[in-house]
Structure 1
């Protein structure tokens, strides 16, 4: 386990980085991420934030090597070199401090079978940025291709280079020279594992070509427009790109040639500002447990961690961050009385602590499934959290759930809260599904379909995406009843069968 001297926290406008290593390690990573955000805003015409929203910041955890990160993801032998978990108000990404030795499918880099950790982090942030600022129903090949394009962003002293080839995909690129772009245009329900792998490599190639080739200018926008008009992927491609065989030939030539890209420089460029501090002894001592919890644990795994949480809470009784980690540990283990006591201690230490109130609200909503009077009680910490941060999406969502799950009539202010939560956290699937459910209840089927679109095209969602596509089709055919039942909100931290007060 890392000791206090090993950990630093670096804060910028859009990132909170906890890094194992030196102060400069934390500062460098935070600046790179902020510059990535700047580059994406410039390229995609996304204006700078006018008002800071702390809940929208991404927490990045940099520790260990690729094996350690894979272990946090569930298995040290999985080959996962980094991962990202989108959550309303507390999205988190994990990246190794040291390069690992894990092999990604069809990848090779600098003579070794690995993907640089920075590429993984940039790839995942590109997904987050796309959802945050331009959530839509993107084909899976474009979603992955877009993220791959930004994964290799290279910084200049006064700008950046976008569009360098992902050399860790060279093996897959050579294999795909014999494949047609039709592989990417199959309906999402027919996508196989090999097609998902192709989305990273061939998706990069097609996205890169349509983005940077002057011969294809405007065709990508036309393609998306046709998809939104109801054309299937193949028909939209044939209409926007022309003959697919010719596109295959052009892509082969493009792959064999020198990949285009763009170099952007700025006059009088100033690097983003960053505040760095060394973690206190207590904060550093909690990091191992903190990372386990943020990676996600089920109640059984959480129960194995509570002794460590109790020990930390006893050793550092005056550390609000330690008490918060203890609260989360008790909550995940469904030890609600201990979680409540720890959350109240946090508020004694830090009267304006928002996360403590979120946990109190979650606990009371859980109890409300057995005692309906607790729904009203839960609205007290929810309202307090909202006053502290009006744009905290989880607080807004919990406010909506406190009415929807109670069986009471949902007031207009709660409906507005749900819509606002989705605006603030469009990547959160629970909020998105709840909004679709509400729209179906209101008879706004077309609006519900638009909300569901990003979920049904996500090939990594597996069975849930398959079921959603079935419900989507039923809605289109005028039969929304089964979709309403499937999308009915529940408490996200409980198994579905235990979290619906109306059943």
Structure 2
């Protein structure tokens, strides 16, 4: 035996024990498939299986909606899979306890964060169903159907060789069995919140799920649902339309739903041979361990620092010369700290990576803000901004944020909105129809060209948004202006608020 003393042997043994119970944090992996970009700090095998499940789910939705099976969206959907619920606060500090994830649509990104689960992916499937609906259907569905659609398909089981759709949702049924049902008139009319307007009624989502399931569970009722949705979409009252197309009053509908829930709820087994999705996986640099989720928080642009910029500076300092750390530091400085220092960092990054699209976009954003704050250098700053956006477009000609910045830059300029401005807004919307600001900005530009009917059609899906009543009310105001034949000149004065998105938790979505 060596000359180690007993105390040193004990200390060495303790160190080995600590290493055994406290493994080093796993590096982040990035998986890319035809429709998704998924980040995970879990193992590679589970990540591949997760990507395959989501690719299959997209095709299931396409199959049921009658869309081309192999058609891919113009933008891949980013998802961040986290192992611990507390990691969600690194993206969304206001996250509540037991919240399983969040779906976020803001100007700089549209993405989801979700905790990994071996047995229940319904929360993420719910959010992707919303994302899918906005991507493929520009129709003013009633609010209950927007949620019911997502709930219906989120209960699907997707396993290798087995796909089942429309399954019994035990969580929703439990709420219906134990909670006090909302009035069906309120469900149909989209009145999901209580008298104070500060939360969803506990049975709103379960009833939206059950009503959708009831309609989908029978061929005749499914046909009636199509007629009902078309009626409501063309302006029909959602309560009166129900009786027109089903013969049921709201009270009779409630009784029918209770009876339906007591019976055997039907589901569909899909036998379509869905293909295996090719997946490319890469390991991200160690800087991602410190900065990947915080980078997403920075994109929310909440204005208040709360010490975040100092945290970003300290974490970036751990990775000198690392391109991703430079990008996050540059973003943090421009949005929360010293914009001049941020530009210095990002210009240094462009020396290494001349086609870094995010760095180019951030420099354009910084120049845009600088131009508004320093009128004496306006022309120079705007020229520099246009140069950065031109380079960003040349590096990636299908990035919605580049087109959004191009369009926003022109607001208030002579001749706005011209045909080029309309084209920029249209491209933003085509690539990112989930972004409320894309629809709102395009609608305003269309109204300025006396294309009010097109603007109304574009805005109507937002008017029933149950997750952001402030924006929904504002959209209805703009629709009223368009219906009155007014243009959109002063619409930019309306206080649009890009929401945090729809939060996912154990039972309620908000």
How far apart are the structure 2 equivalents of 1:189 and 1:94?
25
Q: Hey, what does 2:143 align to over in structure 1?
A: 140
Picking from 283, 298, 302, the partner of 1:298 is: 302
Structure-1 separation of matches of 2:497 and 2:361: 13
Q: Tell me the residue number matched to 1:369.
A: 372
Moved more, 381-390 or 282-291: 282-291
Partner of 1:237: 242
Q: Give, in whole Å, the separation in 2 of the partners of 1:241 and 1:292.
A: 47
1:202-351 pair list within 5 angstroms: 202-244=207-249, 245-267=251-273, 269-294=274-299, 296-301=300-305, 304-351=307-354
Partner of 2:503: none
Deviations 1:445-476 (A, max 9, x none): 22222222122211221333223334433543
Contact 1:375 1:406 in 2 (8 A): no
- Whether 1:161 and 2:182 are equivalent positions in the alignment is no
Alignment of 1:103-114 (within 5 A): none
Change in 2 beyond 3 A, CA 1:173/1:490: closer
**What displacement does 1:184 show?**
1.4
Match of residue 473 from structure 1: 480
Q: Is the contact between residue 5 and residue 278 of structure 1 (CA under 8 Å) also seen in structure 2? A: no
Partner of 1:459: 466
Structure 2 CA distance, aligned partners of 1:488 and 1:278? 45
What are the superposed Cα offsets for residues 156-214 of structure 1, whole Å, 9 maximum, x if unpaired? 32241011122122332215685553231226598756765433100001111212312
Structure with the greater alpha carbon radius of gyration: 2
Q: 2:45 aligns with which of 8, 20, 24?
A: 24
SS of the counterpart of 1:300?
A: coil
Query: Which runs of 5 or more residues in structure 1 are unaligned?
Result: 100-115, 494-503
**CA contact 1:137–1:453 (8 Å) conserved in 2:** yes
Structure ranking higher on relative contact order (CA contacts 8 Å, 6+ apart): 2
Encode CA deviations 1:381-412: one digit per residue, 9 max, x unaligned: 21222222222111112112222233454442
User: Secondary structure at the residue paired with 1:460?
Assistant: coil
| Structure 2 residue matching 1:21: 3-state secondary structure | coil
In the alignment, structure 1 residue 40 sits paired with structure 2 residue 43: no
Contact 1:162–1:263 under 8 Å retained in 2: yes
Deviation sequence 1:296-325 (CA, Å, 0-9, x none): 352332x62323333444443443222222
Report the Cα distance in structure 2 between the residues aligned to 1:313 and 1:179, rounded to whole angstroms. Answer: 50
Alpha-carbon distance in 2 for matches of 1:324, 1:344:
10
> What does 1:476-487 correspond to in 2, within 5 Å?
476=483, 478=484, 480=486, 484-487=489-492
Assess, with a 3 A threshold, how the Cα gap between structure 1 residues 50 and 384 changes in structure 2: closer, same or farther.
Answer: farther
Task: Name 1:499's counterpart in structure 2.
Answer: none
Alpha carbons 2:30, 2:39 under 8 Å: kept: yes
- Report the Cα distance in structure 1 between the residues aligned to 2:94 and 2:312, rounded to whole angstroms: 23
Backbone CA RMSD of aligned residues: 3.0
C-alpha distance in 2 between matches for 1:87 and 1:249: 41
Question: Pick from 21, 30, 36: which aligns with 1:15?
Answer: 36
| Displacement of 1:357 | 1.2
Tell me if structure 2 keeps the 8 A contact 1:20–1:97.
no
SS in 2 for 1:138: coil
Q: Secondary structure of the residue that 1:160 maps to in structure 2?
A: strand
Gaps of 5+ in 2: 1-21, 499-510
Q: Which residue does the alignment assign to 1:431?
A: 438
Distance 1:2 1:346, change over 3 A: farther
Q: Which moved more, 1:61-70 or 1:136-145?
A: 61-70
Cα distance in 2 for partners of 1:344, 1:424 equals 28
Distance in structure 1 (CA, Å) of the matches to 2:200 and 2:229 = 20
User: Shift of the alpha carbon at 1:144?
Assistant: 0.8
1:88-127 deviations in whole A, cap 9, x for unaligned?
A: 673111112369xxxxxxxxxxxxxxxx762111111111
Pair 1:77–1:284, CA change in 2 (3 A): closer
Do the aligned partners of 2:192 and 2:200 also contact (CA within 8 Å) in 1?
no
Looking at structure 2, the residues matched to 309 and 411 of structure 1 have their Cα atoms a distance apart, in angstroms, of 40
Structure 2 CA distance for partners of 1:385 and 1:145, relative to 1, 3 Å: same
Distance 1:421 1:71 in 2: 28
Structure 1 residues 266 and 253, CA gap change in structure 2 (3 angstroms): same
Give the structure-1-normalised TM-score: 0.84
TM superposition shift of 1:145: 0.8
Equivalent position SS for 1:377? helix
The alpha-carbon deviation at position 326 of structure 1 amounts to 1.5
SS, match of residue 271 in structure 1: coil
1:417 matched to 2:424? The reply is: yes
